[in-house]
Amino acid sequence: MTPLEARLKPINDLQALEASWRDLEERADREFFLSWTWIGSWLQTFADKSLLLEVTDPSGRLIGLGVFCEAREVRKKIIHAKQLRLHETGDPHQDVITIEYNTLLAERGMEQAVWFAALNALGGPDAPKWDELIIGGATDAEADLFSEFGLTVQKRAEASSAYVDLAALRMSGVQDADGYVGTLGKSTRSQIRRSMKLYRQRGELALDVAGSIDEAKEFLAELSPHHEAKWNAAGQLGATQKEDYMRFHSHMMECAYSEHSDNGVEFLRARAGDHAFGWLYNFVDRGKVLFYLSGFAFEKDNKLKPGLVTHALAIEHHLKAGMDVYDFMGGDNRYKSNLGQKGPDVVAYALQRKTFPMILEGAARGLKARLGR
């Protein structure tokens, strides 16, 4: 079999890349974070000095794409690691947007072959010099694949995830929030039902869906102070106070609402009568709902659980809309495991070459381990 051809090149024409990317998307089993809605916004907002990796089959047909950024990381004041980062810039202020399900965009069934071709190209004479290849926001499903490349594979960060199988719930006869809540553990079930009862004293429970860019901006503005209150109480800035984060999402929202009716971006607001208490920013794509950002009104009565109730109402909404999965994505949060079942671990992988900085770091790590015994 003739090998695939992979090449790296600067990105000079975003319009042409968009056409190629969208075409390959239709032939790929990709997640939202590899859609042009996300990648195009990322390129236009941050990745002005990036390299495009293209993989083609022997006929010249495009079957793989990815975007890499060069970065440098200094560790322990000694190790200067040259990095190539997939769909990240290496600037923590920019990478705070947090990509997940990160991998190369590849034609269905060609994922492994595309990765092998990509690594051959990245190791070639025309590629930038690098010590480690960083794939942030990947899943543990890629562990076996990466182990086959002859590189040292390290996990830099790892978090659990959880999801709700909406399709399975529907097949079992669950049609609404009450039915879904009935499938949860005793404590969580009791908390949500009691909280819903208390909220109904203020008015009928309802879930609003932003139908336009203006409504989306309104919902985001309402979400922000509640989101920030939580993080500020812990002495940190929340996402909506971070300039690069908001610049990226403002751009993506504008593109999503202007280009497509099925735009992939969703803003929800939960309320009891006129009293709004919960806001969600989700991505909706190919039968999946990906929970991304939230804000919940503080309640003096701790029997009121705005977050749990808001998610229950959102799950009901998507049950009725025919979606397949409600994905809480990465994060070691107890409420996620209480509301859903375990999903894949979200992992940042470092694929390291045997360069001097990496050999030095490996030796130091080995010495530390021996001294610690």
Domain 162-342 has CATH 3.40.630.30: yes
C-beta pairs of 274-278 under 8 Å, 24+ apart in sequence: 274/203, 275/199, 275/202, 275/203, 276/222, 277/199, 277/304, 277/306, 277/309, 277/310, 278/306, 278/307, 278/309, 278/310, 278/313
User: 357 vs 73, 84, 127, 147, CA distance in Å?
Assistant: 11, 15, 19, 21
Question: pLDDT class for 78, splitting at 50, 70, 90?
Answer: confident
Domain(s) of CATH 3.40.630.30: residues in the chain: 5-160+346-371, 162-342
Report pLDDT for 2. 57
Report pLDDT for 338. 97
Report pLDDT for 259. 65
Dihedral (C-alpha) 292, 25, 340, 281: value to the nearest 10 degrees?
20
CA 56, 57, 63, 69 torsion-angle sign: negative
Q: How many CA atoms lie within 13 A of 271 on its CB side?
A: 11
Report pLDDT for 49. 84
Report pLDDT for 141. 82
Tell me what percent of the residues of the chain surpass a pLDDT of 70. 98
Q: What is the mean pLDDT of the chain?
A: 93
Question: In this model, does residue 287 exceed pLDDT 80?
Answer: yes
pLDDT (mean) for 114-143: 92
Report pLDDT for 261. 53
Report pLDDT for 262. 65
Residue-wise pLDDT tens digits, 200-257 = 999 999 999 999 999 999 999 999 999 999 999 889 999 999 999 999 999 999 988 8
Report pLDDT for 260. 56
Report pLDDT for 373. 63
Higher pLDDT, 259 or 335: 335
What SS3 state is found at 132? strand
Question: In this model, does residue 144 exceed pLDDT 90?
Answer: no
Buried b (16+ CB within 10 A) or exposed e, 95-106: bebbbbbbbbbb
pLDDT (mean) for 58-83: 94
What is the CATH code for 5-160+346-371?
3.40.630.30
pLDDT (mean) for 249-273: 87
pLDDT (mean) for 73-91: 93
Residue-wise pLDDT tens digits, 19-56 = 999 999 999 999 999 999 999 999 999 978 899 999 99
pLDDT (mean) for 191-203: 98
Q: Copy the structure tokens of residue 155.
A: 């996990």
pLDDT (mean) for 131-146: 89
> Strand order in 325-330's β-sheet?
205-209, 265-272, 275-285, 288-296, 325-330, 161-165, 341-342
pLDDT (mean) for 315-322: 97
